[in-house]
């Protein structure tokens, strides 16, 4: 495979547009004009229902024969909640600049919030579990270490030092991202066993799960492309292969609606 093809700067306009459509929240959603919500019916009749409360909190359940068999907030650690853009309109003092900026789904450990995004496909239920995985898995030591590295990066203009900091950040994020995906896949299996809903059927094959996960890991890896563009430390960019997606998937995965 042509490695150059794996760098975002070599993607075609069409591929970039597809990625943006997948990753960016729409303006309507960000501004709260389109409320958070999604429904998916599993082959066994179980219904995945995501919606928001009047206060803008996310409510996500799995129902069977009209009764809730799983409330996804029960998977969150104590004190955490799901929030939507409407929540921040009602609590502007709790909003940070990065919220719903260039992607929507996110976990915010300092505020104990999972920021709910737009479901683009039923497979994004795995993406939801990934954010819950961050909430459950990431330790406060790792989060603090990440914050400190980012802070130090903001305060330096030395590009060689920035690369070193990026390397530490990449290692920190790699552990966190991989841990959250592993948690999500385990939670998907467990939820399937407990409720009977065919979560694995959301993907056409086990390779489809891997492709989905690697697409998002690749987005993280591409975040370090400056190192290639500015010829700072190409060998470090190569090392990112082992930290994130192993360069398995260059383009966005097939959408399965
Ligand atoms: Zn993540």
151 C-alpha to ligand 1 centroid (Å): 20
Instruction: Compute, in angstroms, the gap from residue 66 CA to the centroid of ligand 1.
Output: 32
Supply the pTM of this predicted model: 0.91
| Percent share of the chain, pLDDT over 70 | 93
CB hemisphere CA count around 97 (13 angstroms) = 0
Which residues are found with C-beta within 5 Å of the ion, ligand 1? Answer: 177, 180
Q: How far is the CA of 31 from the centre of ligand 1 (A)?
A: 23
On the question of pLDDT at 25 being above 80, the answer is yes
In the reported structure, the alpha carbon of residue 129 is separated from the centroid of ligand 1 by a whole-number distance in angstroms of 10
Domain boundaries, the chain: 3-243
Gap between the Cα atoms of 178 and 176, Å rounded: 6
Render pLDDT for 122-136 as a digit per residue (tens, 0 to 9).
999 999 999 999 999
Neighbours of 136 (CB within 10 A): 18
What is the pLDDT confidence band of residue 247, given thresholds at 50, 70 and 90?
low
Angle at alpha carbon of residue 100, lines to 191 and 57, rounded to 5°: 55
Cα of 67 vs centre of ligand 1, distance in Å, is: 31
* The pLDDT of residue 11: 79
Calculate how far, in angstroms, residue 222's C-alpha sits from the geometric centre of ligand 1.
Answer: 14
Any idea what DSSP says for residue 73?
Answer: G
113 φ, ψ (degrees, to nearest 5)? -130, 140
22-36, 40-54, 76-90, 140-154: range with lowest mean pLDDT:
22-36
Lowest mean pLDDT segment, chosen from 10-14, 88-92, 107-111: 10-14
* Interatomic CA distance for residues 35 and 38, integer angstroms: 10
pLDDT for the residue numbered 1: 43
pLDDT tens sequence across 158-203 = 988 998 999 999 999 999 999 999 999 999 999 999 999 999 999 9
């Amino acid at each position: 495979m042509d490695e150059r093809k794996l760098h975002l700067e070599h993607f075609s306009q069409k591929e970039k547009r597809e990625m943006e459509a997948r990753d960016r929240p729409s303006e309507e959603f960000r501004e709260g004009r389109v409320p958070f919500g999604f429904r998916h019916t599993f082959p066994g009749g179980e219904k995945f229902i995501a919606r928001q409360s009047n206060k803008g909190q996310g409510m996500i359940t799995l129902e069977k024969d009209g009764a809730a068999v799983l409330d996804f907030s029960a998977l969150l650690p104590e004190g955490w909640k799901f929030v939507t853009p409407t929540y921040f309109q009602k609590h502007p003092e709790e909003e940070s600049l990065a919220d719903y900026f260039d992607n929507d789904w996110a976990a915010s450990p300092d505020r104990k919030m999972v920021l709910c995004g737009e479901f683009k496909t039923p497979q994004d239920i795995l993406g939801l579990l990934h954010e819950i995985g961050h909430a459950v898995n990431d330790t406060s030591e790792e989060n603090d270490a990440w914050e400190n590295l980012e802070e130090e990066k903001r305060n330096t203009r030395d590009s060689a030092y920035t690369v070193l900091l990026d390397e530490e950040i990449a290692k920190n994020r790699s552990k966190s991202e991989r841990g959250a995906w592993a948690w999500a896949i385990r939670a998907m299996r467990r939820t399937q066993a407990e409720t009977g809903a065919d979560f694995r059927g959301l993907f056409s094959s086990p390779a489809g799960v891997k492709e989905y996960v690697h697409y998002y890991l690749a987005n993280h890896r591409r975040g370090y492309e400056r190192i290639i563009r500015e010829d700072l430390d190409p060998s470090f960019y190569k090392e990112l292969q082992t930290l994130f997606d192993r360069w398995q998937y260059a383009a966005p995965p097939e959408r399965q609606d």
